[in-house]
Structure 1
Amino acid sequence: MDLFAAATLEPLPNPTTPRPGGLDFFSTILWPFKFVVEAILVFWHWVFTSIGLQPDAGLTWVLSIVGLVIVVRAALIPLFVRQIKSQRKMMELAPEMRKIQERYRGKRDQLSREAMSRETMAMYKKHGTSPLSSCLPLLVQMPILLGMFYTLSEVKRHAEWGVGGTGLLNPVLTREFYNAELFGVAPLHVNMIDAINTNQTATVVILVILVILMILSQFFTQLQIISKNLSPEAKTGQAYQMQRIMLYVLPLAFIFSGVFFPLGVVMYWFTSNIWTMVQQFIVIRNLPTPGSEAAKAREERLAKKGKALDSSGKVIPMAKYEAEQQRLLEEAERAKAEAPKRQQPVGKNRAKKQAQKGKQDGTS
């Protein structure tokens, strides 16, 4: 397959879209991301056509979209782990944050606000986290998602006028994508509004099913966090209440995506949701928040295998764990014994009596 073949193709009869051209602010800003998206799509398309799949088959392009998800999400794994740790720290910091807020409750002067801000930032710095850290993976993925949206949204117009995309998605590949249909009935470049207007019932049904599955997967992913991976202390903070609200509100955003996004973008988002759900399950199972139900469940699983977690969180044999606990207990008792005893306060009358008794003992 020649990736650079055919600079243009003959336009399709009676195009329904305006001729490509002119300046588009968002397309210009997203040009690098669109180029990356097209490169990944074309690579996977080449892989699947090389093993015998049809170039314009819906399965070929759907698998290419799945490959795009794998590449993007795999690259984001380090950020995802950082996000999980940051969210965990933010939840654990909720009691300390409430103390700061209580200390400055009712104080609205400039000096108090500045002092509260300094203490809050110092707390974040001390624990190595910030509210922005938990949003970083989403912010990084958003340009890729927008690049995917614009790439697939422009497939119809580019294919109708016989031109290619930003980079490696040349006119031939664009036309093949345009002709691709999921299950042989649902074009990947069509959104729900277009499908309804053109009476493509099968496409509408597929989009509705995908949106429902996206909502359920997002709900289950969020539910895993607030039901299994929060400590009792974290469940008393304002952040926990926000998590509960997002549990029901965030999945509804996928209704919007199912209506306005092309089927190809919805497939990308659905596959990405499945990745997130599985990834979240693995992280919660193996790196749970200390004190959470997931952490207790992990300790029980390790105990059945004759293992436990040491003070640094490393999995060790049970015998070694018991020896470590015994050592820590002995060190604590030794430190307690060596600590100077606190002298209890004595009243004036009692002190006077003790002094008199001391004099009598000295003269006897």
Structure 2
Amino acid sequence: MGFFDTVLWPLKVAVAWIMVRAHDVLTFVGMDPAGGWTWLLSIVALVIVIRILLIPLFVRQIKASRGMQVVQPEIQKLQKKYKGKTDPASRQAQQQEMMAIYKEAGTSPFASCLPLIAQMPVFFALYRVLYSLPQLAAGDYQRESIGPMTRELAGQVESSTVFGAPLSSSFMGDEATVAVRVVTAVLIVLMSATTLFTQRQLTMKNMPAASLDNPMARQQRMLMYIFPLIFVFIGVNFPIGVLIYWTTSNLWTLGQQFIVIRNSPAPGSEAEEKYLARKAKKNKSKKARGVSLEDEGVALELEDGESAAETEREKRQRVQPKRNVPKSKRKGKGAAAE
């Protein structure tokens, strides 16, 4: 076992444990234990568990992004201040002042990368688990199992397929079939597209117009299109199971960001304009419903021909108070009547 596998061993065991436990649940509800879709959904379950654990980091990422947008005017002033100054002393002073601005605002340009950085060890651990499955299934692995992932279960994963493609196979693998390459190509396109949409949603729709016109924003827009292209080239070396993990994680991020941006957009952004328009439309609809209900109530009163006050007066007139008459007087009245 190499150094990389030794360092990642605890994470490999954790990844294998989540996958096997999810597989047990799916088998319990009636899915085929050796089916490719059962193991595919086990990887999806791994994504869900990891992303739930990363929600606190996602919240920090959103706060950091908001903080970066707030300090953009100060950063632009700082850039104008040191424009044309390329000597080491000026660069160092600019860097120190910039870090002071970030510190005062309680943000950091690296905080927005926290969820991605935290996921990378899990991503590589899953890669190594899937990479080790053929050896584990054949009995050639350095250990008898990877946590609960035994030789028998490794054989199940190896023999299971999705649209005819094993989960541990890759586009550039030695035994890559047409089915493997088609499935891999589709997943690479989905992975790249979801990465692009996620970055576009975060940078284009949830950033103020003033924050989009600066060197850093232009660099982010350029990277937004470069990263998906990089994934196209490196994705051909990843097993199908890893591509499924990455694509599912991107979809989770896309949905999570959509909910946050829709309900709590950044001030001055395109998303905030749409949010305020929806809010104004909703308030207008509420007011319209309130007026119509009031009119309906008046119409009903007129239709009945009496108001609530009139009804109350009639009740008072109909109900007469009873007087307490002594028994002796009641007897006297009875005798007189006889």
The TM-score range, normalised by the shorter chain, is 0.7 to 0.9
TM alignment of 1:294-333, pairs within 5 A: 294-306=271-283
The amino acid of 1:232's aligned partner reads A
Q: Deviations over 1:96-115 (max 9, x none)?
A: 11212322334455554443
Q: Deviations over 1:194-215 (max 9, x none)?
A: 2xx4361111111111111112
Partners of 1:84 and 1:90 lie apart in 2 by 10
TM alignment of 1:117-128, pairs within 5 A: 117-128=95-106
Match of 2:129 in 1: 151
Residue 151 of structure 1 and its aligned partner are, at CA, apart by 0.6
Question: Is the 2:265–2:271 contact (alpha carbons within 8 Å) kept by the matching residues of 1?
Answer: yes
Match of 2:151 in 1: 171
Match of 2:48 in 1: 70
Partners of 1:265 and 1:88 lie apart in 2 by 31
Residue 289 of structure 1 and its aligned partner are, at CA, apart by 0.8
Question: Is the 1:91–1:237 contact (alpha carbons within 8 Å) kept by the matching residues of 2?
Answer: no
2:111 to 108, 127, 133: 133
2:13 to 27, 30, 35: 35
Question: Is the 2:12–2:125 contact (alpha carbons within 8 Å) kept by the matching residues of 1?
Answer: yes
Higher relative contact order (CA 8 A, sep 6+): 1
Question: Is the 2:169–2:176 contact (alpha carbons within 8 Å) kept by the matching residues of 1?
Answer: no
Question: Is the 1:289–1:295 contact (alpha carbons within 8 Å) kept by the matching residues of 2?
Answer: yes
1:160 is the counterpart of 2:150: no
Question: Is the 1:162–1:171 contact (alpha carbons within 8 Å) kept by the matching residues of 2?
Answer: no
**Partner SS, residue 229 of structure 2:** helix
1:278 to 242, 248, 255: 255
1:248 is the counterpart of 2:225: yes
Question: Is the 2:266–2:272 contact (alpha carbons within 8 Å) kept by the matching residues of 1?
Answer: yes
Partners of 2:145 and 2:69 lie apart in 1 by 44
**Distance change (3 Å), C-alpha of 1:235 and 1:254:** same
Residue 88 of structure 1 and its aligned partner are, at CA, apart by 2.8
Pick which of 275-284 and 290-299 moved more: 275-284
Partners of 2:256 and 2:124 lie apart in 1 by 23
Determine what percentage of the aligned residue pairs are the same residue.
44
Match of 1:214 in 2: 191
The TM-score with structure 1 as length reference comes to: 0.73
Question: Is the 1:92–1:233 contact (alpha carbons within 8 Å) kept by the matching residues of 2?
Answer: no
1:104 is the counterpart of 2:82: yes
1:187 is the counterpart of 2:179: no
1:290 is the counterpart of 2:270: no
Partners of 2:176 and 2:2 lie apart in 1 by 30
Aligned residues: CA RMSD: 2.0
The amino acid of 1:123's aligned partner reads I
Partners of 2:281 and 2:101 lie apart in 1 by 38
Gaps of 5+ in 1: 1-22, 308-316, 319-364
Match of 1:230 in 2: 207
Question: Is the 1:231–1:292 contact (alpha carbons within 8 Å) kept by the matching residues of 2?
Answer: yes
Question: Is the 1:152–1:264 contact (alpha carbons within 8 Å) kept by the matching residues of 2?
Answer: yes
Question: Is the 1:91–1:239 contact (alpha carbons within 8 Å) kept by the matching residues of 2?
Answer: no
Select the structure that is richer in helix: 2
Residue 32 of structure 1 and its aligned partner are, at CA, apart by 1.4
Gaps of 5+ in 2: 288-338
